[in-house]
Chain A
Amino acid sequence: MNLEHFPCAVVRIDIGAPARALDLPEGFRSVHVVYEHEGVPVATRVFTAEELPLPPTASASLAADAVAPLVAASGQDPREATPASVVGERKVAGSALSGSASIIVCTRDRPGSLERCLRALDALETPPLEIVVVDNAPLDGRTRPVVERFGKARYVAEPAPGLSRARNAGIAAASGDILAFTDDDTEVTTHWLAMLASGFDDPRTGCVTGLVLPADLSTEAAFRFEFGYGGLQRGFLPQTFGPRFLESRPWDAPYLDAIGAGASMALRRAALDDVGPFDERLGAGAAGCSEDTELWHRLLLKGWTCRYEPLASVFHHHRDSADALLEQTRSYMRGHAVALFAQYAQSRRLGHLGRFFLHLPRTYAKAGMQLPFGNDPMRRKFWSAGVAGLAEAPFYWLRHRSSPRYGSRRGSGE
């Protein structure tokens, strides 16, 4: 991991406004620019300190270049298509549907972060049917007063720990036909819900995911997460994943992470009724993560499609300490591997086991051989954390595979 461009500032530029020069903020060595139209991110680009400042005219020209792929992918007539027309079209498609959407936010002992999240949800242009906040196994009572400050939000307690349990409690308490999820460490953009809902205009769509952008890259942990580990950005081209996506790699598991991230997604209730809710053996607080990808896997198995809608974006506050990121790496690899076992149990496709027994060991062996040559002391730690997570996975699976997948407990909502 190369840190020569760290720290990085996140700068949002409204492409509709008169062009301004782009300067390097003091104390930073690169800038992650988010180009927006009416608050909807439409492109990103990273400039190094050596590429700045940009004169206003150059900045405007490069913005036009940056948004071109998204506008071209819309399928609109290239003679007339603009970011405004593309954003407008999706907004119209989604506004009608977002009124029947419930937003579910699961939180645990992070009242400050939750408040920031709820403030952004409060500013949504198209209001949801309701906002359900699930307080997951809290240590104290700080969360409830935060929720009560926002009129639209409803408080639900889920005493049993685990993100999957909390999300399932939220699903049980919510009444919408569309269930939109975000995490308590995000800030949604103003058209987030409408853009997510726009993906449901096709009746086969079971899930719509959105773009997850970094809110801040000034800490080393966040910078590493975004650029060293791939972050959560999935680009600005909309995609549809159908059941055939599962067969894309016969000797390997399908790369379900390409579909998106649980921090920005919406599910159709009918699809959930069809395939069942989140697997409570997975996710933060249980195996570690991948409760989202495992659910997408079940949707695809049953013939539903998943759509990636880049205009539905949230800003995500990454972990800001190295220890938290190491812990995340470990639990991510553990959760990913446990999900592979669960997916194999569900589909009996050997690719899932192939990924665990062949591809992941090979990847880590290769990376391990490179370790002595790198000059980044953290690399060894991340490598060890990943290997530890993988090693724990079979034991976790053996211990928990016969635990109930869901429905072990019901939320005590009010």
Chain B
Amino acid sequence: MSGGYTPITIELSDALDNPDRRYRPDAGDDGIACTVRDEGALVGFSLHPSARMGPAGLRAGDAVDDEVRQAAICNRLRPRVPADIADAHKITVAICSRNRPVWVARLLDSLLPLRREVPCEVLLVDNAPSDDRTKDVAEAREGVRYVREPKAGLDFARNRAVAEASGRILAFLDDDVVADPNYLIGLRRAWLENPDAGAMTGLVMPFAVETPAQVLFEKRGGFRRGFRPLRFGARRFRDQLHPCGAGSFGAGAHMSFDVELVRALGGFDEALDTGRPLPGGGDIDMFYRVLRAGRPLVYEPQCTVYHEHRREMSQLRHQFYTWGLGFMAYIAKSMRTDPEMRGPMWRTVRWWLRYGVRLLRDDITPFGMVLAEFRGGVKGFFGEYDRSARRSERIRREVA
């Protein structure tokens, strides 16, 4: 195997006590993907290419930089959440999937045991499946509620979950993630800490960094939003783009909501995120609407999932394309539905173009990827939302 990074986990205490200990990548690997934990809490992740480490490998002390120290200190200073109010919010975890039973099984096997500590409802929304394999996965396990959503499209499935959920907190997990043991505890903690929140996202770590496409994705920062908690309102001091650049709030692969709020907002926009060939953007659209409704959005790093990034460059290129497509479709839609925010939305478009130029200049992102995102963005901005709305209308009619 070549091009991959060897995953290692360093305990902060070990690195501080033995800073000169060395870690070497496995034979054939191009570097080390280093996770730092502090007594279980995730406090750092960094990629170390062999070319920069030299033959001696990674020095433990070098994995503990200022950001890791800050994250560890922040985490230790944060107040502990009392465990005796465990039932303050009933939680429903919804998994929306389509024809990927193997991944669903993997996710369920990581998630279900966590319920011993934090009870919750697990809802599996099987989205227009071509067979019963996903259903079989659900039935082979105890305590999984299986629902079939005949209309193909991620936001149809999400809205089905919104309608079916019995909890007050509705958490979504994509089927290509695996839950960390801290997932439910972190989820509960974030909602106890922020009882007024409307939405919450969490840390998304790479499941593996084995192929050049996965390395590239992580070098660009991956889905991570840091190892310190964040809290957003409808306005941010000295941030003219906020809350339009909703991509910085987290990823749809790992998000949760106050379900009553989502119902009041009319659910997810089914013209966005309807799955190939329709655009994405349903998650950022919802984040934006939550913030515009005056409810906070929080990011909790100690609530973690591992995401299986695309393995092939061609898949990654397509993902770049859909990011551009979905983001710009969301911008075009919001300009129409929220005229008050047109100024910041235009500024966001300008920011997005500049960001594209920045990507071209860095030596990480290949030209083809930037071009794909740009192509998607142009298509998304010009009429994609309407095209997509017509397509989702057709899906609705076909099923009915």
A-to-B contact residues, CB < 8 Å: 2, 4-5, 19, 30, 46-55, 57-58, 60-65, 67-69, 71-73, 77-79, 81-83, 227
Residues of A within 8 A of B69 (CB): 72, 78
Does chain A have a CB within 8 A of B266? no
Instruction: Report if A82-B77 is in contact (Cβ < 8 Å); known contacts: A51-B233, A68-B228, A72-B69.
Output: yes
Inter-chain contacts of B71 with A (CB < 8 A) = 68
**Structural contact, B16 and A77, CB atoms closer than 8 A:** yes
The answer to whether the Cβ of B66 comes within 8 Å of any Cβ in the partner chain is yes
Q: A51, B193: Cβ atoms under 8 Å?
A: no
Q: Decide: B70 and A68 in contact? CB cutoff 8 A.
A: yes
CA A347 – CA B248 in complex, angstroms?
48
The answer to whether A50 and B193 touch across the interface, beta carbons within 8 angstroms, is: no
Q: By the criterion CB–CB under 8 Å, are B196 and A55 in contact?
A: yes
Beta-carbon contact of A57 and B81 below 8 Å:
yes
- Counting chain A CB atoms within 10 Å of each CB, the highest count among B76, B238, B298 belongs to B76
- Among B66, B79, B232, residue most surrounded by chain A Cβ atoms (within 10 Å): B79
Given A55-B194, A65-B74, A77-B16: A60 in contact with B79 (beta carbons within 8 A)? yes
B contact residues, total (Cβ < 8 Å): 37
* Structural contact, B79 and A48, CB atoms closer than 8 A: no
* Interface residue ranges, B against A (CB under 8 Å): 12-13, 16, 38, 64, 66, 69-79, 81, 192-196, 228-229, 231-238, 240, 294, 296, 298
**Chain B residue with minimal CB distance to A227?**
B238
Q: If A62-B229, A65-B74, A78-B69 touch, does A5 touch B12 (CB 8 Å cutoff)?
A: no
A49 near B235: Cβ-Cβ < 8 Å: yes
Q: Which residues of B contact A50 (CB under 8 A)?
A: 233-235, 294
Residues of B close to A61: CB separation below 8 A: 78-79, 193, 229
Query: Can you list 22 A-B pairs with a CB-CB distance of less than 8 A?
Result: A2-B240, A30-B237, A46-B238, A48-B233, A48-B237, A50-B233, A50-B234, A51-B296, A55-B193, A55-B194, A58-B196, A61-B79, A64-B73, A64-B74, A65-B228, A65-B229, A78-B16, A78-B38, A78-B73, A78-B76, A79-B38, A83-B77
Given A19-B79, A57-B193: A51 and B231 interface contact (C-beta under 8 Å): yes
B79→A72 contact, CB < 8 A: no
Nearest-neighbour CB distance to chain A for B239, whole angstroms, equals: 9
* A71 x B78 contact (CB < 8 A): no
Given A52, A53, A62, A79, which contacts B72 in the complex, CB threshold below 8 Å? A79
Q: Which of A5, A79, A227 has a CB less than 8 Å from the CB of B76?
A: A79
CA distance in complex: A389, B318 (Å): 56
Verify A64–B193 contact, CB threshold 8 A: no
Bound Cα distance A329, B151 (Å): 64
CA distance A71 to B240 in the complex (A): 30
Min CB–CB distance A47 → chain B (angstroms): 7
Tell me the smallest distance from the CB of B143 to a CB of chain A, in Å. 30
Residues from chain B with a CB closer than 8 A to the CB of A62 are 229, 231
- Alpha-carbon distance A54/B193, docked complex (angstroms): 10
Q: Which residues of B contact A53 (CB under 8 A)?
A: 196
CA distance A81 to B66 in the complex (A): 14
- For residue A72, which residues in chain B have a CB less than 8 angstroms away from its CB? 66, 69-70, 73
Name the distance in Å between B188's Cβ and chain A's nearest Cβ.
12
| Residues on B with beta carbons closer than 8 Å to the beta carbon of A64 | 73-75, 77-79
Complex contacts, A51 vs chain B, CB 8 Å:
231-233, 235-236, 296
Residues A55 and B16 in contact, CB atoms below 8 Å apart: no
CB of A284 to closest CB in B, whole Å: 30
A134 to B296, CA, bound (A): 51
Inter-chain contacts of B72 with A (CB < 8 A): 78-79
Other A-B contacts than A51-B235, A64-B74, A64-B77, 12 sampled, CB-CB below 8 A, are A50-B294, A54-B231, A55-B193, A58-B231, A61-B193, A64-B73, A64-B79, A65-B229, A78-B12, A79-B16, A79-B38, A79-B76
